[in-house]
Amino acid sequence: MFPYRQRDTWPQASLWLSNQDRMSERLIRFRFWPWVAVLAAVMAVSVSCGPDINITPDLSISESSAASDAGYKTVDVSASGRWVLSLYYPDGAEPWAGLTSTEGRGSKDGIILSYEENLSSESRSLRVILTTGGQDLAVTFTQSGKSSSEDDPDPDPDPASDPKWLELPALEQNETCRFYWHDMTLQGGKKSRNYSFLWDRENLVAHWVAYPLNESLIGNGSRTDRWGYDPKVPADEQPELYSGYRGGYDRGHQLPSADRLSANPSTFYFTNMTPQIGSGFNQSIWAELEGEVREWARSSDTLYVVTGCVLEGSLGKAYDNLGKEVTVPGGYFKALLWYNHASTMSFGQWSAAGFYFDHRSGASRQLMSIDELESVTGIDFFVNLPSRIGQANADRIEAAKPGSFWN
Rounded to an integer, what distance in angstroms lies between the CA atom of residue 319 and that of residue 328? Answer: 10
For the cut 50, the answer to whether the pLDDT of residue 2 exceeds it is: no
For the cut 90, the answer to whether the pLDDT of residue 334 exceeds it is: yes
Split at pLDDT 50, 70, 90, the class of 324 is very high
309 and 180 fall within a common domain: yes
Range in 111-120, 150-159, 256-265 the model is least confident about:
150-159
121 and 41 fall within a common domain: no
> What sign does the dihedral 76-80-82-83 (CA atoms) show?
negative
> What's the pLDDT score for residue 186?
85
Split at pLDDT 50, 70, 90, the class of 68 is confident
Strand pairing report for 191-200 and 177-185: antiparallel
Question: Is 161 inside a domain boundary?
Answer: no
CB 364 within 8 A of CB 330: no
Question: Is 2 inside a domain boundary?
Answer: no
249 and 372 fall within a common domain: yes
Mean pLDDT of 115-123: 85
Question: Is 160 inside a domain boundary?
Answer: no
368 and 263 fall within a common domain: yes
215 and 128 fall within a common domain: no
The total number of structural domains that make up the chain: 3
Question: Is 402 inside a domain boundary?
Answer: yes
Find, among 285, 223, 273, 224, the residue nearest to 249 by Cα: 273
Rounded to an integer, what distance in angstroms lies between the CA atom of residue 15 and that of residue 33? Answer: 14
Question: CB within 8 A of 4, min separation 6: which ones?
Answer: 16, 17, 18
> What's the pLDDT score for residue 252?
98
> What's the pLDDT score for residue 407?
85
> What's the pLDDT score for residue 11?
37
137 and 238 fall within a common domain: no
What pLDDT, in 10s, does the model give residues 6-52? 333 333 333 333 444 444 444 344 344 444 444 444 444 444 344 44
> What's the pLDDT score for residue 120?
84
Burial class (CB in 10 A: 0-12, 13-18, 19+), 35: exposed
What's the mean per-residue pLDDT of the chain? Answer: 84
| Share above pLDDT 70 across residues of the chain, in percent, rounded to a whole number | 81
For the cut 80, the answer to whether the pLDDT of residue 199 exceeds it is: yes
Domain that holds residue 101: 58-149
Question: Is 3 inside a domain boundary?
Answer: no
Question: Is 304 inside a domain boundary?
Answer: yes
For the cut 50, the answer to whether the pLDDT of residue 253 exceeds it is: yes
236 and 117 fall within a common domain: no
> What's the pLDDT score for residue 147?
66
For the cut 50, the answer to whether the pLDDT of residue 170 exceeds it is: yes
Rounded to an integer, what distance in angstroms lies between the CA atom of residue 349 and that of residue 211? Answer: 19
Mean pLDDT of 246-260: 96
We report the CATH number of the domain holding residue 141 as 2.60.40.10
What pLDDT, in 10s, does the model give residues 70-82? 788 899 999 999 9
183 and 285 fall within a common domain: yes
| Share above pLDDT 90 across residues of the chain, in percent, rounded to a whole number | 63
196 and 123 fall within a common domain: no
For the cut 60, the answer to whether the pLDDT of residue 293 exceeds it is: yes
> What's the pLDDT score for residue 161?
60
> What's the pLDDT score for residue 122?
86
For the cut 90, the answer to whether the pLDDT of residue 329 exceeds it is: yes
